[in-house]
Amino acid sequence: MAKHWADFQYEIYLNGMTGAVPRLPTDLTRLEELTERRLGPGPVGYVTGSAGDGSTARANRAALRRRRIVPRMLRDVHERDLSVEVLGRGLPAPLALAPVGVLSIMHPDAERAAARAAAAQGVPYVLSSASSTPIEQVAEAMGDAERWFQLYWAKDREVTRSFLTRAKAAGFSVLVVTLDTPLLAWRPRDLDQAYLPFLHGVGTANYFSDPAFRSGLAKPVHEDPNAAVMHFVGMFADPAKTWPDLTFVRENWDGPIVLKGVLHPDDARQAVDAGMDGVVVSNHGGRQVAGSVAAADALPGVVAAVGDRLTVLFDSGVRTGDDVFKALALGARAVLVGRPYVYGLALDGQAGVEHVIRCLLAELDLTLALSGHATPATVGPADLMEDMAAE
């Protein structure tokens, strides 16, 4: 029998018999406010903030909330199985931790803690190339757990090649290439404080550990750290890239490649033509194009455009188990979660990230069961209706 994630519910109640209650709220939408109180203004603005006036991030939430589940009754759901196959991998549930850079500004254990939490719960961890911990050290913390690598496509091909080689050697199996950040967006919460972690030398350790990156420096990092940081800023992404450039990535990665940040059906079709394996329908959690379409509103169009030719993943705005259910119903194969696990990390390290994963999956398990589904496979558009008046 597959694991019932919902058992976490009774584990909590039983622990309560000895007076223990969860250290963090089980309504994950409350974590942001707690994090606002815990972290300093720079880091908190960076993680909670988004592009422009924040309307894209709000639209992400609204697009999920507007869709309401229509539960079905009297279907046998006593044995449930949340496992799914994604890109040829069997996952215990349709969830992965999204790539988030610079985790050292949230918690000293940074990416290692997030990766260990994902490994402990069996969900894939997507390591950001802008991580504050070198690739190899994160891999070591994870044992043989499922790990994916996110690429910011550096201007210098040798740096990109070096990252891909290191990630492959460290056992990362799926490559996630982020397309929506060729430039950093207009982010008022960071601008008003003149705070970007990378310019304070924080979070660049993965680049600094890279031999190809270091070979481009006139002096060693410790002799001129500012020059090294500026070299990173100039290198991290390249707004000149076009679709044919993906050939280079394809030639240098022999596992599945997923393009992150796809919202337009025609871009999804181009991903098929470019020989890609999947896309993440995402607007970067509302952090890039201010005023962009909500990710959940873009999802059905992308799914319709590519059918079974690509694996469609989803992120941006997921905060609850029912949000995951809704993304599955709109056609996503699995969901990536971003800020909620970062808040868990900021508030309680590895345990906080595990708490977030367990809450999301327990709530998803219950939402499935209470809506008449024993597996994600049976969930579809007919399970949803739109309520334009929903708060």
Ligand X SMILES: Cc1cc2nc3c(=O)[nH]c(=O)nc-3n(C[C@H](O)[C@H](O)[C@H](O)COP(=O)(O)O)c2cc1C
Q: Which of 114, 107, 40 is nearest to 355 (CA)?
A: 114
Q: How many residues bind ligand LXCWX6NK (CB under 6 A)?
A: 9
Query: Restricting to residues 153-182, which ones interact with ligand LXCWX6NK according to CB under 6 A?
Result: 181
Beta-carbon count within 10 A of 79 CB: 10
DSSP string, 213-271: HHHT-SS-TTT-HHHHHHHHHHHS--TT--GGGHHHHHHT--S-EEEEEE-SHHHHHHH
Cα distances (angstroms) measured from residue 130 to each of 117, 233, 241, 296:
19, 11, 19, 26
Q: Report if residue 278 touches ligand X, rule: CB under 6 A.
A: no
Q: Which is nearer to ligand LXCWX6NK, 131 or 320 (CB)?
A: 131
Strands 95-97 and 334-337: parallel
Query: Restricting to residues 284-303, which ones interact with ligand X according to CB under 6 A?
Result: 284-285, 287
Query: Of these partners, ligand LXCWX6NK, ligand X, none, which one is at the site of residue 338 (CB under 5 to 8 Å by kind)?
Result: ligand X
Stretch that binds ligand X, among 6-14, 134-142, 186-194, 279-287 (CB under 6 A): 279-287
90 is annotated as contributing to ligand binding? no
Q: Report if residue 128 touches ligand X, rule: CB under 6 A.
A: yes
Q: Report if residue 203 touches ligand X, rule: CB under 6 A.
A: no
Q: Report if residue 99 touches ligand X, rule: CB under 6 A.
A: yes
Give the whole-angstrom CA distance, residue 213 versus residue 216. 6
Q: Which of 322, 306, 324, 304 is nearest to 314 (CA)?
A: 324
178 is annotated as contributing to ligand binding? yes
For the question of residue 264 being annotated catalytic, the response is no
Chosen residue from 2, 34, 69, 184 binding ligand LXCWX6NK by CB under 6 A: 184
Stretch that binds ligand X, among 4-12, 65-73, 282-290, 366-374 (CB under 6 A): 282-290
Query: Of these partners, ligand LXCWX6NK, ligand X, none, which one is at the site of residue 233 (CB under 5 to 8 Å by kind)?
Result: ligand LXCWX6NK
Q: 218-232: buried (b, 16+ CB within 10 Å) or exposed (e) per residue?
A: eeebeeeeeebbebb
DSSP string, 182-217: SS----HHHHHTT--GGGGT-S-HHHHT-HHHHHT-
Q: What residue type is 21 in one-letter code?
A: V
Query: Restricting to residues 134-163, which ones interact with ligand X according to CB under 6 A?
Result: 150
132 is annotated as contributing to ligand binding? no
Q: Report if residue 105 touches ligand LXCWX6NK, rule: CB under 6 A.
A: no
Annotated binding site for glyoxylate: 46, 152, 187, 260, 284, 287
Q: Where in the sequence numbering do the catalytic residues fall?
A: 284
**Which residues contribute to the site for ligand X (CB under 6 A)?**
46-47, 98-101, 128, 130, 150, 178, 260, 282, 284-285, 287, 315-318, 337-339
